[in-house]
């Protein structure tokens, strides 16, 4: 799984960059529900440019650039900084997410670079935290579940999210 190992190396490089920028965040644009910061764009650039050096024919679908490339056989999906608003405010709940679908199967990598936690999921091989196997909870009743939610940016998406939240909130434990 060369692409998997490349993904790990590249996500760590982007994490190192972001870790150094936490207190130096540059806001580019902000609206009612969302924020755009330079670090999001730079992290994406680090990830795509480094992967493209190794796999020039691969395609990329990323938050900031959209689709880049025409090779549907090898596609990288990138969120270079999930939790930009938290990052911009110094709230330590954000990560980098990369997924791959192609000739080498399917996998996902989520890197919490503050905690040095790398969550991975590999098709037909399972899920891992820092290379140690993890599993889903044994809880199988919604009444025993704990709910955590993040809202989307956009009025229609928020209304839809609130509708789901209202339905589920009545069924889960409170945090």
Kindly report, residue by residue over 161-175, the tens digit of the pLDDT.
888 888 887 777 665
Is the Cα torsion angle 131, 147, 98, 116 positive or negative in sign?
A: negative
Which pLDDT tens digit goes with each residue over 101-159?
999 999 999 999 999 999 999 999 999 999 999 988 888 888 887 777 666 677 787 88
The matching CATH number, chosen from 3.30.540.10, 3.40.50.2300, 3.40.190.10, 3.40.50.300, for 2-134 is 3.30.540.10
Residue 14 has pLDDT above 70, yes or no: yes
CA distance 125 to 133: 10
Q: Give pLDDT, residue 63.
A: 80
Q: Where are the domains of the chain?
A: 2-134, 136-175
Which pLDDT tens digit goes with each residue over 53-93?
999 999 999 987 888 888 888 999 999 999 888 898 888 99
The DSSP H or E segment spanning 134 is strand 132-134
Structure-token match 């209304």, residue found: 159
Residue 100 has pLDDT above 90, yes or no: yes
Measured from the Cβ of residue 44, the count of other Cβ atoms closer than 10 Å reads: 21
Q: Cβ(152)–Cβ(161) under 8 Å?
A: yes
Cα radius of gyration (the chain): 18
CA distance 112 to 114: 6
CA distance 146 to 151: 17
Q: Cβ(93)–Cβ(86) under 8 Å?
A: yes
Q: Cβ(160)–Cβ(154) under 8 Å?
A: no
CA distance 171 to 89: 32
Q: Give pLDDT, residue 39.
A: 93
């Amino acid at each position: 799984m060369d692409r998997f190992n490349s993904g790990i190396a590249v996500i760590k490089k982007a994490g190192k960059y972001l870790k150094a920028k936490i207190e130096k965040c540059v806001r580019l644009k902000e609206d009612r529900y969302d924020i755009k910061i330079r670090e999001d764009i730079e992290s994406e650039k680090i990830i795509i440019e480094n992967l493209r050096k190794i796999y020039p024919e691969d395609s990329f679908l990323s938050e900031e650039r959209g689709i880049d490339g025409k090779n549907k056989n090898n596609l990288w999906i990138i969120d270079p900084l999930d939790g930009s608003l938290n990052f911009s405010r110094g709230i330590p709940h954000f990560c980098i997410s990369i997924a791959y679908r192609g000739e080498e199967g399917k996998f996902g990598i989520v890197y919490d670079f503050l905690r040095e936690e790398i969550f991975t999921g590999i098709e037909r091989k399972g899920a891992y935290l820092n290379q140690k196997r993890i599993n889903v909870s044994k809880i199988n009743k919604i009444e025993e579940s704990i709910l955590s939610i993040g809202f989307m940016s956009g009025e229609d998406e928020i209304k839809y999210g609130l509708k789901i939240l209202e339905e589920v909130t009545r069924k889960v434990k409170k945090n």
